[in-house]
Structure 1
Amino acid sequence: MADPTTYADDSRLHDALALLRREAPVHWVEAPGFRPFWAITRHADVMEIERQPELFLNAPRSVLVPSAMERWIAEHGTNFHTLESMDGTEHRMVRGIGADWFNPRAMRRMDGRVTELAKRYVDRMLSFDGECDFVTDIAVHFPLYVILSLLGLPESDFPRLLSLTQELFGNADAESGRGRDPQDFIAVQQDLFGYFNRLTADRRATPTEDLASAIANARVNGEYLSDFDAASYYILIATAGHDTTSATIAGGLQALMENPGQLERLKADPGLLPSAVDEMVRWVTPIKCFLRTAVEDYELRGVTIRKGDALLLSYPSANRDEDLFDDPFLFDVARTPNRHLAFGFGVHYCLGAVLAKMETNAFFAELLPRLDSIEAAGAPELSATNFIGGLKHLPIRYKLRPGGSTSS
């Protein structure tokens, strides 16, 4: 549950999670190098906890990191202060800063731009002469461009922010991370804070009509966000806002390649695309877990959770729960209903869920009608991460028809 390499091996991960669901769905974990926690693996139990944010808090430990890194962060005061670490009134007020930018009405205004960018990146596949690494060449760039454009950042900065995002979420991965020492992780944080502190100063001096300006100039209880809190907000939007979607797009394409009958079914009936997108999100589950802390003793499935205990909500496990999903290990583009928890639930439901589904829908709506054939051109590779991630490489070979190109 704690080992990042587990999440780089889907079979190992899901065998372990299925065992826990059967034998010990509420399981005490003492992993070497980590503070202990309860692993919550059933969909119903994750929902029970998510429905009671007053009893199970995000603070003080919302993300699973090694004890040594926790101590280092506490000593140096460099931990992010983002929505996933907030509770109650503070969470509600800070979430409200960006909520209007991500509601369905605002997303409808973005639909044309997202469609235009989807065409650009499907067209880009033509430039690779029928073979590419879909993750590094296509999937990571399209949602990055969308979210950073929404923030109003210059395109020249996109490669740097992509690199920092990969180092942040892939810090445990030998290829993606800057290093395994806490100092390396802190250095990535400091680079991100430095960039976004400069952005805050710029937008306060010269306000614009973008999300970055809205964050920089927002007031909570009559006061600006601190530079630290503003930078944390930017980091949440700019990093999680694209890394999760790129993982869904890449993992969704892999699932279609490995299930050619479902690929042909979706190509024959584009009306299935909304349900297919939800199935891709369930299948990939880019966010692996969040932690909650119990504020009082609580009984769950006959197990007593003590006040102060941490609970790890395992979203990949909840999304393959046999009690809720028919044939949970079947990738089904027409799965309805699909009550997955990949976006969380309740007051902490993902702020960017509508945008993530819009982007995924737009990309496959452009790709599938133009796709004549596709196959693996090498072994796919998953990132080693126990927080956010998915495929880091997906070599593919394909035949793609030209379409109307776009420019911007």
Structure 2
Amino acid sequence: MDPALYAHGDPFAQWRWLRANAPVHWQPPAELPGFWSLTRYDDVRTAYRDAETYSSAQGILLRPAEHGADPGGGRTLALTDPPRHRRLRALVDEWFSVRSIRALEPELREITRGVVDRALDRGNVDFVADVAARVPLYVICQMMGVPETDWERLYELTSQAFGGGDPLTRRFAHLEILGYFETLHAAKAADPGDDLVSVLATAEVDGERLSPDDVILNCDNLLVGGTENTRIAAAGGMLAFLERPEQWQELVAGRDLLPSAVEEVLRWTSTATHIMRTAVRPVEIHGRTIEAGDKVVFWLPSANRDERVFDDPDVFDVRRQPNRHLALGFGEHFCLGSVLARVELRLLYGELLGREVRVEPDGEPELLDSIVVNGPERLPVVLKRTD
């Protein structure tokens, strides 16, 4: 539970011990409420599938008890249970389907090319801030109908809100993001367009229009979900390639490996460190009884390194097959943007490979100091043209 462990320590050693010795582990309450930890793949996957036992509506992340309930509980895609979750998801599902993302791919490729061009012009860049963060942010902004003139503003706000630094600065930046979507929602409700915010601003669920607050919270949910994990996965994947250059050379020699490489990047980075559920009825796992009302935490990086499921789980291998990781969730809450995330990673790495861009370290990476997401906060590199 120490955020510094993820920046400076080795949480995998602790998870390895838990998987072997205490796969269902009770953490007594302190600053955070008490909770059960699930660290094995099969237990996490089973719990993900059982939405009737494990509720999302009371929050999906550990938060100090003094902060109270999550304001999005029961209102956003991530924090609702069936049947409301399915109805909310149905409003936007088509936007993230294979067919829709395939149709958008030329625009996504153009966005990616522009980001890489600007990074190449600078040469010395932070791969997180200057490359990995911008591709998914620009893409989701376009899908949400955010004017291109506002993309940089939202980039700055999301960098402050979801990066490291002063908690007060992060909070004010997040409030400004919510204020931005309040204004955008009003504009789209008055004059809808062909975009995600217009869909939410004019949608009905159970015969009623979504309230302005619900629209704003769901916009925030889409922005975070559409940017945060892809940003960290793209950067974490590049860090893995820099540390294992022979794996990048595998891709140089065979571009057909790119799809399996993307899956391995997702497994390896497992950027959502934990996901929480609340048990709504008693359930027994490995002889331990979880009572109704208990918090249950799924440690995704642990599940995706479970030696019972993955051969040589601590080896990064772009040829790994099969690779049924849980980095994008499972069951009712399988990541809405899973197809989009995969395409963004494929296009970004494909752009670097296709133009034979050399990526070289330019300093020590800094990892995030957080128990919520894990991966690089800064990754200084030099990009060199060879095309």
Give the TM-score band, short-chain normalised: over 0.9
Aligned residues: 387
8 Å contact from structure 1 (residues 169, 387) kept in 2: no
Question: Are 2:196 and 1:211 aligned?
Answer: yes
Alignment of 1:27-46 (within 5 A): 27-30=25-28, 32-46=30-44
8 Å contact from structure 2 (residues 41, 309) kept in 1: yes
Residues in 2 aligned to 1:398 and 1:258: alpha-carbon distance in whole angstroms: 16
SS state of the match for residue 321, structure 1?
coil
Alignment of 1:220-259 (within 5 A): 220-259=205-244
Shift of 1:105: 0.7
Residues in 2 aligned to 1:7 and 1:14: alpha-carbon distance in whole angstroms: 9
Partner of 2:83: 89
Residues in 2 aligned to 1:31 and 1:231: alpha-carbon distance in whole angstroms: 32
Q: 2:127 is matched with which residue: 107, 111, 134?
A: 134
Residues in 2 aligned to 1:168 and 1:128: alpha-carbon distance in whole angstroms: 25
Cα distance, 1:177–1:266 mapped onto 2, change above 3 Å: farther
Partner of 1:362: 347
Amino acid in structure 2 at the alignment position of 1:178 = L
8 Å contact from structure 2 (residues 358, 386) kept in 1: no
- Structure 2 residue ranges without an equivalent (≥5): none
Residues in 2 aligned to 1:143 and 1:61: alpha-carbon distance in whole angstroms: 25
Partner of 1:21: 19
Q: 2:96 is matched with which residue: 75, 87, 102?
A: 102
Question: Are 2:10 and 1:6 aligned?
Answer: no
8 Å contact from structure 2 (residues 119, 383) kept in 1: no
SS state of the match for residue 168, structure 2?
coil
SS state of the match for residue 150, structure 1?
helix
Shift of 1:252: 0.9
Amino acid in structure 1 at the alignment position of 2:50 = Q
8 Å contact from structure 2 (residues 101, 340) kept in 1: yes
Question: Are 2:137 and 1:152 aligned?
Answer: no
Residues in 2 aligned to 1:379 and 1:176: alpha-carbon distance in whole angstroms: 22
Shift of 1:160: 2.9
Alignment of 1:64-75 (within 5 A): 64-70=62-68
Alignment of 1:9-408 (within 5 A): 9=8, 11-30=9-28, 32-70=30-68, 81-129=75-123, 131-170=124-163, 173=164, 175=165, 177-178=167-168, 185=171, 187-371=172-356, 373-402=358-387
Residues in 2 aligned to 1:224 and 1:205: alpha-carbon distance in whole angstroms: 14
Residues in 2 aligned to 1:269 and 1:279: alpha-carbon distance in whole angstroms: 16
8 Å contact from structure 1 (residues 167, 178) kept in 2: no
Cα distance, 1:31–1:49 mapped onto 2, change above 3 Å: same
Shift of 1:329: 0.8
SS state of the match for residue 275, structure 2?
strand
Shift of 1:31: 5.4
Residues in 1 aligned to 2:18 and 2:356: alpha-carbon distance in whole angstroms: 40
Residues in 1 aligned to 2:35 and 2:137: alpha-carbon distance in whole angstroms: 33
SS state of the match for residue 304, structure 1?
strand
Amino acid in structure 1 at the alignment position of 2:285 = L
Residues in 2 aligned to 1:384 and 1:240: alpha-carbon distance in whole angstroms: 19
Residues in 2 aligned to 1:159 and 1:33: alpha-carbon distance in whole angstroms: 36
Residues in 2 aligned to 1:67 and 1:163: alpha-carbon distance in whole angstroms: 30
Amino acid in structure 2 at the alignment position of 1:208 = G
Residues in 2 aligned to 1:124 and 1:188: alpha-carbon distance in whole angstroms: 25
Moved over 6 A (4+): none
Residues in 2 aligned to 1:198 and 1:360: alpha-carbon distance in whole angstroms: 31
8 Å contact from structure 1 (residues 243, 389) kept in 2: no
Shift of 1:167: 4.0
Q: Which stretch shifts more, 98-107 or 155-164?
A: 155-164
Shift of 1:136: 1.6
Amino acid in structure 2 at the alignment position of 1:228 = D
8 Å contact from structure 1 (residues 382, 390) kept in 2: yes
8 Å contact from structure 2 (residues 57, 73) kept in 1: no
Partner of 1:406: none
Shift of 1:192: 2.7
8 Å contact from structure 1 (residues 5, 385) kept in 2: yes
SS state of the match for residue 262, structure 2?
helix
Q: Deviations over 1:318-366 (max 9, x none)?
A: 1111111111111100111111101100110000000000010011111
Shift of 1:132: 1.6
Shift of 1:191: 2.4
- With normalisation by structure 1, the TM-score equals 0.90
SS state of the match for residue 122, structure 2?
coil
Residues in 1 aligned to 2:45 and 2:72: alpha-carbon distance in whole angstroms: 31
Cα distance, 1:163–1:176 mapped onto 2, change above 3 Å: farther
Amino acid in structure 2 at the alignment position of 1:149 = Q
Shift of 1:282: 0.8
